[in-house]
Structure 1
């Protein structure tokens, strides 16, 4: 049951995630990515390559800090140029693996891939998803590890 102390061992990534994640194509512009974020009311998007496989994540902050702040026109930059190391989790992974992955890499958004269905992106786990599905103690532990000074 969500929110109970033993929940992390019982829940799977697919139970925690927000489904229906949409990718921005690697060849689409940052301007297009920003419009998608606005229209979907999200702060990040997965970046998918020509084969529809996950190659990165882009945040609204990436667009502002790595493009606009340098005077670069976001309509002239492809989303794929901002890709970097991407961490993901299999949809069948348990909640403890989700927390461990997010804590180890100090990330606040984790793409969920259905490995058995051809490595297809099926959702994203965010801090809000953790708060809705895990115990207060688990969320506090996550926050302490992800937000703690390195």
Structure 2
């Protein structure tokens, strides 16, 4: 199965200059835990609810803090025509639960969440990815 058969196509984007309060409001209204961050028609980062909690609130940053100060600047992504098995293995390796989906021109076309994989596949890809994502530590560990 290809990524474009499972991904969510309706994706909202945060701006690096908007406040974390505005981004959090958007996340709440969409019932999502992350937003791609875009500027000048390109992805420049990802913002998660965990970024807001750990890099924002826990460090004393207020609601008017710009998204750029707490977002993850490294953008991991996948292509819409990639196989889901390949992408879920990558998600496990890099320990992320969602990836922006781009076309071959690197334009954002969707987002793939582990939940999307779980409800569209029956081969255990989501469970295997979750097992890898859930191992302690790793590149995205935010413990000192």
Which bracket does the TM-score occupy, shorter chain normalised? 0.7 to 0.9
* Residue in 2 that maps onto 1:6: none
Q: What secondary structure, in the 3-state scheme, does the structure 1 residue paired with 2:131 have?
A: helix
Aligned-partner Cα distance in 1 for 2:113–2:97? 6
Moved over 6 A (4+): none
Match of 2:13 in 1: 23
Match of 1:67 in 2: 56
Tell whether the 8 Å contact from 1:46 to 1:56 is kept in structure 2 after alignment.
yes
1:13 and 2:3 matched: yes
Task: Give the TM-score normalised by the residue count of structure 1.
Answer: 0.83
Q: Which moved more, 1:131-140 or 1:21-30?
A: 131-140
Once the 2 structures are TM-superposed, how far is the Cα of residue 69 of structure 1 from its aligned partner?
2.0
State the partner residue of 1:144: 131
- 1:34 counterpart SS class: helix
Alignment partner of 1:92 is 2:81: yes
Q: Output the CA distance in 2 between the equivalents of 1:96 and 1:37.
A: 28
- Correspondences of 1:114-133 after superposition (within 5 Å): 114-115=103-104, 118-133=105-120
Deviations 1:43-66 (A, max 9, x none): 1101112x1211111111211221
Tell me by how many angstroms 1:19 deviates: 0.9
Deviation at 1:136, TM superposition (A): 5.0
Gaps of 5+ in 2: 138-144
Greater share of residues in helix? 1
* TM-score, with structure 2 as normaliser: 0.86
* Alpha-carbon RMSD: 1.5
Q: Name the SS for the 1:67 alignment partner.
A: helix
